[in-house]
Structure 1
């Protein structure tokens, strides 16, 4: 069962994706393209959009108002260290410490997956959440059954790493990967309790 925090993070992530789409694509699907809406948060002082029926005008205002409110909510969450955004990815944590399987299930229930840094910028974003909670976190990386190579959860071999000195050293007995509070990685057993950080 998902906690209230998980539901809120899911809702925020879904709404942020919608907001990003509205900003990038000024035409709203199903409606004619509306000049002048690109990048605007609201339409203060404008009572009607020319060329739209009044009913659609109201709906457009509702969507733009929602976008504005979500933008403010995202700002609050970013300031509190609960989410980080890097290009198209959003990283978020509910603060729970669980084993790897439970962390993955929690993220999947929220329509995401475990945080998986693909480059230095994403690693730093995840590190920001790790530091906020001062807890090590599992990453979406596991050792493969074949040849002991570390892979992303989709089975593709890892192409970006940030291993701590002399890591990985678990010799296939430590099949999961955790992030330390300095951003470096360590291979670890999957049954320990670590911070859950999801990506959307």
Structure 2
């Protein structure tokens, strides 16, 4: 085995020191012999982390980085205020003219003003014809009403009487034959017009109002429920077969049997 020279020198010096001390009778004398430098020790372990130091001053700005790719488009913002109109652009070039077609037929001379006047005149004539028809119907009804001896008016209605006393059915048929119907007041004005005729003759008339169709529900001759009524106190009392209505000389109504005779008054 081969030892390094340093180790051999160290062992020799140690041996001499021990041997000299053993043989001497006097007090031992320490002799200092400088030894050889020792070997390097192993690296020490890392120490614990120290306290965080104060933030240093900002460094110099770095160079500008490479531009990244475009991101996704954001949501559309609110519509802005319209800007002012720009200057008109330059007039564009005229387009190519297409192929000419065959000439159309020669138009006829048109007097548009005369045509418009003729249409207006026709409309007026048509309107006058309608008014004339309504007038003829009204005159016809009033002419039939004049055949009776006594009459009265209320609004657009004409009430007349033949002066006869008839049962309900005969009185109704008599009015229908003349183009009217039994007097059927729908308001106080019409009721008073009928009353004036009844008081003149001092006779109670039959009205066109009955509950023949539905017991207890009085209707006009056209079948519609009455909308105006002027019953006497306690009427209608529905005693027996009282399906018809008579007007008393005070203008009040009373339900009555249809077989008795009452003054005939028609309305047109």
TM-score range, shorter chain: 0.5 to 0.7
Following TM superposition, where does structure 1 have runs of at least 4 consecutive aligned residues deviating by more than 4 angstroms?
none
Q: Can you list the C-alpha shifts for 1:116-174, whole angstroms capped at 9, x where unaligned?
A: 00000000000000001100000010014335211111111111011011000024620
SS state at 1:140 partner: strand
What residue number does 2:129 align with? 29
Q: Unpaired segments of 5 or more residues in structure 1?
A: 1-26, 33-66
RMSD: 2.8
SS state at 2:216 partner: coil
Report how many aligned residue pairs link the two structures. Answer: 132
Asked if 1:120 corresponds to 2:188, the answer is: yes
Q: Unpaired segments of 5 or more residues in structure 2?
A: 1-126, 133-138
Shift, 1:29, TM fit: 3.4
What residue number does 2:170 align with? 102
Asked if 1:87 corresponds to 2:125, the answer is: no
Structure 1 148/96 Cα, relative in aligned 2: closer, same or farther at 3 Å?
Answer: same
Structure 1 150/29 Cα, relative in aligned 2: closer, same or farther at 3 Å?
Answer: same
Could you tell which deviates more after superposition, 151-160 or 139-148? 139-148
SS state at 1:106 partner: helix
Shift, 1:30, TM fit: 8.5
Q: How does 1:28-177 map to 2 (within 5 A)?
A: 29=129, 82-171=150-239, 173-177=241-245
Separation of aligned partners in 2, 1:117 and 1:151: 11
Q: TM-score when scaled to structure 2? A: 0.45
Q: Which has the higher contact order (CA 8 A, sep 6+)?
A: 1
Structure of higher CA gyration radius: 2
Separation of aligned partners in 2, 1:101 and 1:93: 16
Higher share of residues assigned helix: 1
